[in-house]
Structures are given as C-alpha cells and as structure tokens.
C-alpha cells in the first residue's frame, strides 16, 4: 500500500518533467511515496483500457440520441445505471434537477476528487460540442480512480458529477449555488474535445438576457402609420450592437438571435423578442457590457415608441475558467509523454473561446478544463464536429485524455505535498482574480 507521507523517493520513480512546465517542477518534488508512481499510473491506464468497449457503446448511444439541456433523460439513466453497476453509490435527480446525478466511491479518509461529465446536445445539430465524449471521459476517469482506491493504493473518495445543460449554463451553476463541490470535493477535473490541444485555454465569462418589445398592430399596407412596429425596435437593437462592437474590448462578445419577429408580413408586428449573450474576459467585467446592451435596448424602444422589457439570467453569469496551473501542467506532462504537443501558454491564454459553467466550479475548488484534440479541423458547434465526435479516432483521443486526467487527479490522492501545491495555486489565483 502507498502511504501519504513525505519520504525520500526511490531512484527511478519520477520522470523528469519538461523544462517548460515550471509548475510541475514545483509540485513533483513533493511526490515522495513508498510505492512507484508508475504502479499507480499502470492501474489507472489498464482500468480505462479494460472498459474501452463499454465506454464506446455509451458514447455512441448518447451521440445517436441527442437531448438538449434539462431533457437528457436517456443519457441520465444510461450513465447512472452504468456507474451503479460498477459499484458506485448513485444519487439520481441530484440537487433538484431531473437529469443530474452523482456517483460516489470511497475508501477511507483522504482527499476527495470530483470529476464532471456533460451529456447535453445542441438544438438541430446534435453533439456538435462532443458532450458524448465528455460523458465517457468523466466515467473513465472516475472508474480509474476507483480502481486505485479499491486496490488500496490510496485512501480517499471520488465523485462523478453528472451535470446537465452545460450549453445553457444551468447544471454546474445550480450545483455551485448548493455548495455541491465546495462541501464535497477538494478539487474537480474534466476535459473537453476540440480541434486542438490546450491545458491553459481561457473560457470567457458569459450571461444571457431575454428581451421583448411591445408595439401596436395594424394593417401593413392600409394604415401603417397607425402601428407601432416592434420589429423595427429589435432590428434597431441588432444594428446598435453591430455599431457598439467597435468600442468593445477585443475579448468582449455580444451575439444573439431573434426568437419572435412577427406573425404575418401584412401585419405590423406588435410583439418581438430576442435572446442575447454577452461575454467578457472575467466575470468581474461583465456588468460593463451588460450596461451597454441595456442602453441598446432602451434606445431602440425610445426610437420606435415601443415598450421594452428584459430579464437577465437569474442564476448569474457563467464565470471565466481558472485553470489550476499545477493540475494543468501535470495533465500536459502526461499528454506530452504520449506525443501530444501544446501551444505556448501565452498563445493559449490570449485566445478567448466559448464559455462553460465549469468556470463557476473553478472559483469554488481547484479545477481544470483542458481541451483535447480529436483529429479534426472542424470547430465546435458545427455539423462537421458532430460527425467527428462519433469516430473511432475521437474515442481513442478521449481515452488518452482520460488517462492523463486520472493520472493528474491521482497525484492529489497520493501526495499531500502535491495537494498543498495545487491548493496554494488555487488560493493565490482566485484571490488575484477577486481583486480585479
């Protein structure tokens, strides 16, 4: 059995970290255990290999039956049943959400590792963000860590969180509001498929708003002067946003759709509606762009004579993602051992991509959300990415990333020193973000 104390590591038990991973250099010297790290890594890797076929079946079933956020009943049942069959204590409909679940396994007192699975799809284009792969990555990582605990190589707990509706930022935010992560785990990990690899990828903060305009209907040809055109109002919002963009910061984003634009071309529309997202580099900045967008709404109402109402998501924003550097560098270390290459940190961090409710988790406990390539040039949220997410190659890429994720998380189980290092990094980084 490995014991969690800091003894001198026998020779040959630690691989030299790449020089460009300074956080690894800081953390790995603390990994002095009685057993070989390679022994633990072998258990994790072989466990995932042993269930590769089962994971493939789950992935394809989820991919073939796409369900949008908060309606993922089939995926919820499939994943919860599978985890229960593998010896986990499962809670279905967790945290008041019909399609959320938790699956827990523990062996003695020790660190508590959280892992996230996502399984919602996008309207019309299915699993164009590869959540079928995220689902099995979470399952693979949790099962690998269970094997380590079950075989007595470490003590502690692993919890798989089944988090619904990531695409509309519901599941994890609701869980954070209920202290699901802060009260139950010491860190949390997940990985996301993409066109390329990145362990530092910055995810933007985001919040959405629904807006409605009310006018006066009339015959569009016989008496247009008698109407108050709500379509004019929402078109003006669109134009206002287009002009506003040149005054936004490079990492700011505003985009949306019309959800109602009238009922017939010969009736002046008296009711129109839209759904818009704003995104900023950090959640502290989001009020700045929200205020500008509200001005666009009010200006359109005044210009057209319409009445306007709007409602921001009451859950609050999906926060920006804080990648824990110790965990991120360890993940990349394992991926690079398998031949994966990563862009330099400055290149990754200067690119603002999408947003994720995993950002809220990262402000609650030390977390990572690396991107792993699935051998496609297609970008997320396209039909081409949907097709890529069901390939055999994408499955192999997911298993590779899951092994690296499990090996990374296991170090927190195996070493107090490693855990202290990642916790110090978390506390310093969150404190810095909160000062902004």
Using CB atoms within 10 A of its CB, is residue 5 exposed (0-12), middle (13-18) or buried (19+)?
Answer: exposed
pLDDT, position 23: 57
**E strand or H helix at 105:** strand 101-107
Which CATH number describes the domain made up of 32-203+321-434?
3.40.630.10
In total, the chain counts a number of residues equal to 436
pLDDT, position 346: 87
CA angle 426, 198, 345 (to 5 degrees): 70
Q: Cβ(163)–Cβ(95) under 8 Å?
A: no
* Pairing outcome for strands 253-260 and 192-194: unpaired
pLDDT, position 16: 43
Q: Cβ(193)–Cβ(371) under 8 Å?
A: yes
Tell me the per-residue pLDDT of 321-336, one tens digit each, with 9 for 90 and over.
Answer: 999 999 999 999 999 9
pLDDT, position 85: 98
pLDDT, position 24: 58
Tell me the per-residue pLDDT of 382-393, one tens digit each, with 9 for 90 and over.
Answer: 999 999 999 999
One digit per residue, pLDDT tens: the chain, 436 residues?
Answer: 343 333 333 333 334 444 455 555 555 544 444 446 889 999 999 999 999 999 999 999 999 999 999 999 999 999 999 999 999 999 999 999 999 999 999 999 999 999 999 999 999 999 999 999 999 999 999 999 999 999 999 999 999 999 999 999 999 999 999 999 999 999 999 999 999 999 999 999 999 999 999 999 999 999 999 999 999 999 999 999 999 999 999 999 999 999 999 999 999 999 999 999 999 999 999 999 999 999 999 999 999 999 999 999 999 999 999 999 999 999 999 999 999 999 999 898 877 679 999 999 999 999 999 999 999 999 999 999 999 999 999 999 999 999 999 999 999 999 999 999 999 999 999 977 665 5
Q: Identify the CATH class of 205-312.
A: alpha beta
Every domain of the chain and the residues it spans = 32-203+321-434, 205-312
Helices (H), 109-222: 131-150, 171-177
The C-alpha atoms of residue 204 and residue 214 are separated, in whole angstroms, by: 32
DSSP string of 279-336, one letter each residue: EESSGGGHHHHHHHHHHHHHHHHHHHT-EEEEEE-TT-PBPPP---HHHHHHHHHHHH
pLDDT, position 432: 72
């Amino acid at each position: 059995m490995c014991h969690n104390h800091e003894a001198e590591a026998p020779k040959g038990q630690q691989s030299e970290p790449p020089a460009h991973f300074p956080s690894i250099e800081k953390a790995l010297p603390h990994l002095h255990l009685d057993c070989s790290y390679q022994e633990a890594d072998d258990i994790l890797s072989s466990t995932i290999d042993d269930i590769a076929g089962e994971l493939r079946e789950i992935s394809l079933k989820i991919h073939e039956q796409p369900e949008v956020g908060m309606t993922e009943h089939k995926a919820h049942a499939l994943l919860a049943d599978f985890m229960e069959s593998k010896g986990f204590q499962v809670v279905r409909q967790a945290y008041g959400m019909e399609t959320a679940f938790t699956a827990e396994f523990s062996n003695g007192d020790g660190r508590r590792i959280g892992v996230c699975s996502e399984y919602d799809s996008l309207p019309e284009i299915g699993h164009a963000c590869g959540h079928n792969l995220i689902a099995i990555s979470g399952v693979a990582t949790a099962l690998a860590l269970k094997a380590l605990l079950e075989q007595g190589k470490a003590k502690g707990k692993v919890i798989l969180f089944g988090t619904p509706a990531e695409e509309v930022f519901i599941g994890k935010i609701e869980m954070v509001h209920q202290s699901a992560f802060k009260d139950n785990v010491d860190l949390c990990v997940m990985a996301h498929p993409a066109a390329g690899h990145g362990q530092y990828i910055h995810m933007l903060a985001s919040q959405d708003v629904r807006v409605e305009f009310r006018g006066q209907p009339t015959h569009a040809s016989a008496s247009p002067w008698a109407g108050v055109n709500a379509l004019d109002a929402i078109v003006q919002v669109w134009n206002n946003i287009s002009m506003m963009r040149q005054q936004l910061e490079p990492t700011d984003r505003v985009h949306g759709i019309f959800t109602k634009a009238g009922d017939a071309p010969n009736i002046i529309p008296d009711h129109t509606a839209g759904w818009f997202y704003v995104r900023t580099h950090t959640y502290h900045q989001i009020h700045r762009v929200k205020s500008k967008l509200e001005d666009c709404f009010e200006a359109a109402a005044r210009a057209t004579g319409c009445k306007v109402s709007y409602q921001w998501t009451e859950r609050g924003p999906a926060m920006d993602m804080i990648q824990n550097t110790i965990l991120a560098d360890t993940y990349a270390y394992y991926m690079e051992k398998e031949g994966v290459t990563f862009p330099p940190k400055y290149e990754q961090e200067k690119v603002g991509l999408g947003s994720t409710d995993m950002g809220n988790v990262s402000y609650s406990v030390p977390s990572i959300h690396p991107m792993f390539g699935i051998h496609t040039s297609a970008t997320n949220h396209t039909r081409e990415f949907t097709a890529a997410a069901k390939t055999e190659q994408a499955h192999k890429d997911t298993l590779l990333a899951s092994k690296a994720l499990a090996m990374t998380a296991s170090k927190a189980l195996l070493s107090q020193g490693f855990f202290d290092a990642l916790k110090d990094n978390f506390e310093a980084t969150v404190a810095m973000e909160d000062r902004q």
